[in-house]
Amino acid sequence: MSTFQILMFAMTLYFAYQIFRHVQNLDDSPPKNTDFKEPSPPSSALIDQADSAYEAGDTARAKGYLEEAFAAEPKNVEILNKLAFVTAKSGERIKAIELYEDSLELDENDDLTHNAIASLYRAEHAYERAQDHYRKALEIDDTYAQTYYNYANLLVDMNEIDEARTMYTHALELQNDFAQAREALKSLGGMK
């Protein structure tokens, strides 16, 4: 693996961790779709145990708790996304992709899930699929700088440098202090 690939893989893991943290901080307001159920107390306890296990560095135990919660509530998007995240962290990217796809079947308008699955597809060199998900994420929310940055990284992998510069520039327009986007744009000769 080249240094660049290692760096890109590290960024993918970082982004997946950011999604995990975001999912943890979602408010407790009722879901938009009434088909979704609030976690029952046992599922909530399992999610809390999974969060604690993950924070303690025990990905396998966190995954076990989330699998148990998922068995109890297979249509809970929060559980699915967390399970997909820890599954990816444990090295099972294909299984994580399947879980994120299941999540998108329940809520296709979750830009963070589209970002997460795109990062995994990118790591698997399925660039066109990754691109589809980044485009969908931008359709849903075109104000999230991280999506532009991640999409730009994919475009670099695809050797579409001009488009990548445009995406890095968009990320910086939305978040001026985005150091990684600024450095990536500099490395492409897009800024001085």
Q: What is the mean pLDDT of residues 139-159?
A: 96
Q: What is the DSSP letter of 30?
A: P
* pLDDT > 90 in the chain, percent: 73
Q: Which residues contact 90 (CB under 8 A, 6 or more apart)?
A: 59, 60, 63
Q: Write the CA distances from 8 to 4, 26, 40, integer angstroms.
A: 6, 27, 38
| Residue 23 or 43, more confident | 43
Q: What is the pLDDT of residue 189?
A: 82
Is residue 101 within 8 Å of 132, Cβ to Cβ? no
What CATH code would you report for 40-130? 1.25.40.10
Condensed to tens digits (0 to 9), the pLDDT of residues 44-74 reads 889 999 999 999 999 999 999 999 999 999 9
What's the pTM value of the predicted model, to 2 decimals? 0.74
Q: Which residues contact 40 (CB under 8 A, 6 or more apart)?
A: 72, 73
What SS3 state is found at 108? coil
Closest by CA position to 101, among listed 88, 90, 91, 89:
88
